[in-house]
Structure 1
Amino acid sequence: MILVTGGLGFIGSHTARTLADLGESCVLTQHRNATVPDLLTKELGSQIFVEPLDIADRAAWSRLGEKHSITGIVHLAAHSILDPDPLAHLDGNLRGLSNLLHAAAAWKVSRVTVASTIGVYDLASSRPLREDEPLAMDAGNVIEAYKKTAEILGPFVGGQLGIEVVNVRIGAIWGPLGRVRSGFFAVPQLIHAAAHGTALESPPSAGKTEDGIDMCYVRDCGRGIAAVQTATTLHHHTYNVGSGRLTTNGDIRDAVLRLVPDATLDLPAGRTWNGRAMNISRIQEDTGFQPEYDTDRAVADYLSWLRAGNPR
């Protein structure tokens, strides 16, 4: 049985969906989010179990282990980035990582997969986004700071405990259950505007036409994380989980317009920064993972999802 912290969240739900499809039973934790997404309700109570967990509460971790026989962990939960208190981030996230490793040791799990981010890379650099690229020792925001710290501490402490701890650096994720507006790229706003027949909010966030990054559709992201967690053998401690290609806001807009020609999607021209794709050869070689959603298929799937009455 695999524990997925943050399992009712955006990426967690799709990861759990894939794990269930692979025949795995999962315990999904909830803290602020108490709603089970529709895509998981079919297996609720048979393969999918939901339990409360504050990752900073070690006793709560112990209670999970007493109730379920957990053999692996996917750690996607984190302290809220909306909290303005830097000490709250330090306390919540590092205690959460410590509690995770304590639990993994007590339960004798075989593998722990910990979520990191494309944001640990120097995105202004011209170097390829490869896992063996040296990372800067400073950080520009709280997410980058915590993820870099966890990337070092997790595998190091895990190695001393005899536990395989693996980092997954996740690209820019979009799709069903995601936010309506992102501060990183304009994609969610483009899709929602087209699905609901409204004009694009002006100006859109991170919205210039040529701005791009490795945009990975969330269904592929969930499959990638599940592939790492369930692989028979891994040869590395860190894997990129992305599409392996650069996608711009303009690429998404054009794909939407091919399906909804009358959509009003006026993006500012130009570029504010140079994006790059993640190299995904490691995960492909070790797990066989291949993204299934190109831009057109992903746009069509998300539009269909929203038009079916799903709010996000």
Structure 2
Amino acid sequence: MILITGGLGFIGTATTRALLDLGESCVLVQRRPAEVPAAFAAEAGERLFVERADLHDERALLGLGDRYKITGILHLAGSMPWPAGGHEPLEGAERAIKSLLNVYRAAQEWQVRRLGLASTIGVYGGAGVAEGPLAEDLPLPMTAPHPIPGFKKIAELLADHLRQVIDLETVSYRIGAIWGPLGHNPSPFFAAPQLVHAAVHGTAPDLSTLRGGAHAGDGIDLCYVKDCGRALALLQTADRLRHPTYNVSSGRLTTNGEVAAAIRKLVPGAGVDLPEGRDPAAGRTWLDTTRLRADTGFEPEYDTERGVADYLAWLRAGNER
């Protein structure tokens, strides 16, 4: 049985579905009260359980081990100061790091087989690569422009230290630009969610929230959330992993123009025209997924058009995001 922190979130929902499809049982831990979604109704109470626990509360987290035989942990919840501005800065940092250490304590006490830690493509920011693949062994700067990659770097450094001094397999998963059902809209990092939502509602896309990269030629390594969930499930259940860090994404650059073209094919007349060319300040990088493919056999199932079609169908069914 695999415990998933943030298991009812954006990436967590897709990962839970993928693990269930692989025959695993899951315990989903949420900080706030949550009900079992209808999509998991068939497994609820048998192979899927939802528990409320704040990861900062060591006793509450460790108590889950008294109720379930947990053999693995996938830590998708963000061990960073949250909600933003919700705590005094030092207290926020302390809570974030303590939550992460509590996950380690649980993994050690329960003697789990593997602890997977969600990291982000954002850790590559400032590495000096403007175009081309980003490999896991690329030297990274110690600084970060945002708290998310900053605290993910802290988590990776801590994992590297603890990996050497305690008997626990810990693996960091650097996750790419993920889009699809339950995703964030608008996204400050890439245009795909705004473009799809605009097509559904018959409006012009508002790309004013983007930090850059609003041209047709701008791109990033987009990975559809269902592919991301399946990749994480394969990593978490693999018999053997040969590396401590894995990139998790499609392994290719997808431009805004490709997304817009797929939308226009599926929604003729959609007003998703974008300025031609590229933002000179935006890079064109993608994640090298050689390790992921070699050690799990993962291949993306959702190309741009299939992802757009699936996301359109989800939104048209009445889902808000």
TM-score relative to the length of structure 2: 0.92
Asked if residue 231 in structure 1 is aligned to residue 234 in structure 2, the reply is: no
Partner of 2:90: 87
Residues 240, 295 of structure 2: 8 Å contact kept = yes
Residues 81, 143 of structure 1: 8 Å contact kept = no
Instruction: Specify which of 289, 293, 315 is matched with residue 306 of structure 1.
Output: 315
Amino acid in the other structure paired with 2:297: G
Partner of 2:273: 266
Question: What's the Cα RMSD here?
Answer: 1.7
Instruction: Specify which of 211, 216, 235 is matched with residue 223 of structure 2.
Output: 216
Change (3 A) 1:68 1:155: farther
Aligned-partner Cα distance in 2 for 1:75–1:103: 11
Change (3 A) 1:214 1:229: same
Aligned-partner Cα distance in 2 for 1:89–1:240: 28
Aligned-partner Cα distance in 2 for 1:88–1:302: 39
Partner of 2:249: 242
Q: CA deviation at 1:202?
A: 5.6
Deviation digits for residues 116-142 of structure 1 (CA, Å, limit 9, x no counterpart): 000001365246300011111122111
Residues 31, 54 of structure 2: 8 Å contact kept = yes
Change (3 A) 1:255 1:33: farther
Instruction: Specify which of 103, 106, 109 is matched with residue 106 of structure 2.
Output: 103
Asked if residue 154 in structure 1 is aligned to residue 176 in structure 2, the reply is: no
Partner of 1:24: 24
Q: CA deviation at 1:175?
A: 0.3
Aligned residues: 312
Alignment gaps of 5+ in structure 1? none
Residues 227, 289 of structure 1: 8 Å contact kept = yes
Aligned-partner Cα distance in 2 for 1:141–1:175: 23
Amino acid in the other structure paired with 1:284: R
Deviation digits for residues 209-257 of structure 1 (CA, Å, limit 9, x no counterpart): 2221111000000011111100000100000000000011121111100
TM-score relative to the length of structure 1: 0.95
Q: CA deviation at 1:35?
A: 4.5
3-state DSSP class of the match of 1:49? strand
Residues 25, 48 of structure 2: 8 Å contact kept = yes
Amino acid in the other structure paired with 2:267: V
Residues 125, 144 of structure 2: 8 Å contact kept = no
Amino acid in the other structure paired with 1:242: S
Aligned-partner Cα distance in 2 for 1:68–1:26: 10
Instruction: Specify which of 306, 312, 318 is matched with residue 297 of structure 1.
Output: 306
Amino acid in the other structure paired with 1:304: A
Deviation digits for residues 89-133 of structure 1 (CA, Å, limit 9, x no counterpart): 412221111101111110000100000000001365246300011
Amino-acid identity (%):
52
Amino acid in the other structure paired with 2:204: A
Alignment gaps of 5+ in structure 2? none
Deviates more, 1:57-66 or 1:221-230: 57-66
Within-5 A mapping of 1:1-312? 1-32=1-32, 34-78=34-78, 79=80, 81-84=82-85, 85-122=88-125, 125-126=129-130, 128-201=133-206, 203=208, 205=210, 206=212, 207-272=214-279, 273-312=282-321
Moved over 6 A (4+): none
